[in-house]
Amino acid sequence: MAHTLFLVHGIGEHGQNWAEDIKTQLRETFAAIPSEVGQSLDDFVTFKPVNYDQIFESALERMRENNEKVFKAVTALDLTDTFFGKFSDFAGKLDDKSFFTTHALDVFFYRYTPMRGYIQALLAAEFLDVLMPTQIQNIDWSIISHSMGTSVVHDTLHNMFTTTFEDSDGNSIQLNPSNQFVKLYTALANVSRLLEIKRARAYRSVVRPRQAKPAPQGGGIIQNFINARHRFDPIALIREFNPEDRWYDRHATPGFRDVELTAVYETNVHGFQHYLANPKVYYPLLKMLTNSMADFDEFDRLVAEHQAGSLQGKFREARELYKDLNTRDFVQPILAGNSPFDGLKQQLGDIGDDIDEMIGKTDGDDDE
């Protein structure tokens, strides 16, 4: 039976085919790994994207409809300059396609409204559709989630494995972590701490490696946990997720891989695909999904190639080309001229001694 891989998106607008580019990226990345040449990811994995964006869109549509009624009443009663008029004007912005309506409201709806429960129920139904046929033997299922999707997945899994519920026949069901655990959970730009609620604290939930200390409500339900955060992703840095000291007594963290990225390929460092493009993420992820042995030399080569192609790598390459440039010799003829270079000469005179050092400077190797 193929390994089921759930893909869970974050905030923003997502159509029914939102995951197609991600699936293509993973397939092409896997095929390009030297040790996997000739292999197809689809021989190992069955993709199962989940889209919960329609719940937010339905709520917005109802709000727009209600606002139309309010606007008509405000106009008819000549309340335009009152609080009601100002509120109606604000609500009218719900018709705009902006960061507020496509991103910020998603976070508000999930964190502070009953929609949190609706979304978790939708996701749980998708998970259980794979889990419920298998009550005894093990089943291979994994999850990749991104941004707000990490909070949705975290809350859903914790509730699923700590709650008794009924199946379609009215039978009581309690999931068993010993044979229904998540084989691999990959959290990209993890915000489960940022959006956590009291009854499902990210560091105290069962959404942790099975090898970690037990949570108050039971043992961990994750076989392998990859947590990826980018040093330049501001979203991932707010209440950063890094529970190693709380989950383990010693420095070794079996089952948990905390990955910090620094390589930048595009301006949207928070993007789902930007995270997946990094071999520090995709290499262990794909190897675990396909039960392939990791080749550490191959991994190091892929990381080096990725780093060289990043913006930082291009900068270092350019710096190496021009490290022998004598800045004084280059600038001196200009400084020797008359005005309008007098002001420039005065400014450079104060910092000229530092210019050669800045351009010729060579940093130590970064992790990435």
CA–CA distance, 199 with 197 (Å, rounded to integer)? 6
Q: Which residues pair with 184 in a beta bridge?
A: 142, 224
Phi, psi torsion values for 346, nearest 5 degrees: -65, -40
Residue 346 burial (C-beta neighbours within 10 Å; 0-12, 13-18, 19+): exposed
φ/ψ (deg, to 5) at 267: -65, -35
| Model confidence, pTM | 0.76
Question: Which two tokens mark 19?
Answer: 């995951």
Which tens digits make up the pLDDT trace of 139-169? 899 999 999 999 999 999 999 999 987 767 7
Closest CA relative to residue 275, chosen from 147, 185, 148, 367: 147
Which candidate, 226, 224, 201, places its Cα nearest to that of 145?
Answer: 226
Domain residue spans in the chain? 3-58+95-292, 322-360
Q: Pull the structure tokens for residue 131.
A: 């889990």
Architecture of domain 3-58+95-292: 3-Layer(aba) Sandwich (3.40)
- Condensed to tens digits (0 to 9), the pLDDT of residues 67-123 reads 554 445 445 545 445 444 444 454 445 455 544 445 567 777 788 888 889 899 999
Per-residue pLDDT tens digits for 8-43: 999 877 788 999 999 999 999 999 999 888 889 999
